A and B are shown apart, each in its own frame.
Chain A
Amino acid sequence: MFGHDVVKDRTLIRRLVGYMPEHDCLPPDASAAEFVMHLGQLSGLPRTAARERAAEVLRHVGLFEERYRPMGTYSTGMQQRVKLAQALVHDPRLLVLDEPTNGLDPAGRDEMLALVRRTGREFGISVLVSSHLLGELERTCTSIVAIERGALQHQIAVDALTSEIPQLAVEVDGDVDAVINTLTQADWRVTRDRTGFVLMLPAGDREVAARAADAVRDACVAAGAGLLRLERGRTRLDALFASDAEVNGAATELGAAVVRTPERVA
């Protein structure tokens, strides 16, 4: 890891990693300033440096005067930020976040994600997020890794995953079978799905897609059906994981984890 032996250089690696657990881990009667400073010291920072770093990372996550209050009085959002701050206090190179948006309202969720994104992109810290909210991962992360029992199973870039695929998703209001029939006769490959049907394109380029769209339009006109939706297909992470879970069958827990690796670290 970062060119160090995991077993031999344990101490060194612990300095390079910041960990934010999913569960509550804040003593209710300590203040955030004191708690984060103490953990900074436990990471090997000298006392004064730990105090400065604590103030700095708490400000970074958006805690100001509140940091002197006992943490028992904090809202969930503030507690999540303290948890992030304590993972950042010793300036790690890799941040491991376990469900960072747990218990947050939608606004808090967006802010936390923005913070996570910035931490990764601008500060040169790689972030490994574990989450069951795949939509969030899709928005935040650059690649997906699936880790099972300590071994890396898959690693795929999010962009590659969610890019366009040669399909047209169609939804019509009216006689669906008639429309499909017309299209099949015109040699388009069509499969039904829950809401409508999907037209498989023989190639991914724009011209083919445009011809297919025209064909769908004409078929709808012919069948007297209304066209509700016509869009190019995109993979979504949850769809991917659904199919993955089928493939793996008995796979235990398929952790959805995501790494962002800024160039200089990679």
Chain B
Amino acid sequence: MIAQLIFLLFTIAAVVLFTINVRKIIRNINLGRPLNRSDRKAERLMVMLKVAFGQTKMTKKPVAAILHFFVYVGFIIINLEVLEIIIDGLFGTHRIFAAPLGGIYSFLIGSFEILAALVLVGVIAFYARRNFIRLKRFTGVEMTSWPKSDANYILIIETLLMAAFLIMNAADYRLQQLGSLHYIEAGAFPISGLIAPYLPSSESALIMIERSCWWFHILGILAFLNYLPYSKHFHILLAFPNTYYSNLEPKGEFSNMASVSNEVKAMLDPSYTPEPIAEGGKFGAKDINDLSWKSLMEAYTCTECGRCTSACPANMTGKLLSPRKIMMDTRDRMEEVGKNIDKHGKDFKDDKSLLGNYISQEEIWACTTCNACTEACPVNIDPLSIIMELRRFSVMEESQAPASLNAMLGNVENNGAPWKYSPADRLNWAETK
């Protein structure tokens, strides 16, 4: 009874804390500018099913795709087992699904065990890739100590959780064989059956092991749930809405700014009456609240895998620009702004901004807008749109383009071509042969 009460308290605390933190993240995402992505629902659903559920974009790197698939499927399916654990915990039952499911139960438990083993394989390989093989993709200026530790913490926690799950089953299996009270014969144990012979043989020791692992596993899951909002691992939740709200237009198409259209139309046609628009007061983005909510959601979705950066032509030729850094900076700045709001109220302004304090001019001007980053992202994150908004602010609000670009812009304005040629010479190609 006391155990049930403790379990209930932990569960409630975990859910409450998680809700509070998720609401803060939602509030932060809503600091962004409006953007309508509520159209084409069926198409959006398909994109989500393909890209997030189906993991189709992961396959560009097949080894990572297979390892990630183990962990992903394991995570989704083993959640069924977590449901049973929670019910058992709350009602003091043991393996409550065993009786109603009968033979299917054994099949399920057996499958979970195989999945857990595959998760272990994936997670250990991932750890090795980061720490021993040291893939280049997991390095870079933005991969400072926290992002590196974050990745390792996730992998270590997952290893421990899976190990606890398997050892728990192993002890349970032994207890079932001993005919111990409460430990009804249920389940199939293809993996833990291999561990079982190494466990002590006394019933009390086995119960100790089974119970400790049970508690460690479920409290670990509740703790891990609450680690998510602080971690890059939040992608396991946001990957789904993030792909649902993907940009469905061709990648080459950049948004036309409605606020600019109004002014340009008024310039070309004095009788034009501007339509009212909801956009904020400035052109482009200086800080996170000038970006769209979608860009902000993307920053929380990013799991820092670095596929964008490794595909970026600027980055691979040694330039400062890294699309992954753009996303991580956006999240870090959003967290900072969020903390300021928590401490000082919603109108508080510090003297910092995303452009300047986090992302430099040198970074944004190195981009070739080639869309390699957006193509590479397995969850359809678009670092390019952030870079473009920062460029727009630099040019239209601060006149801060590189000098040679200003010369190009001047040429387009004065003679309708990016070079200094007279419009009268435009047809000369037809004469010279």
Q: Do A and B bind each other?
A: no
| Interfacial residues, chain B to chain A (CB-CB below 8 A) | none
| Interfacial residues, chain A to chain B (CB-CB below 8 A) | none
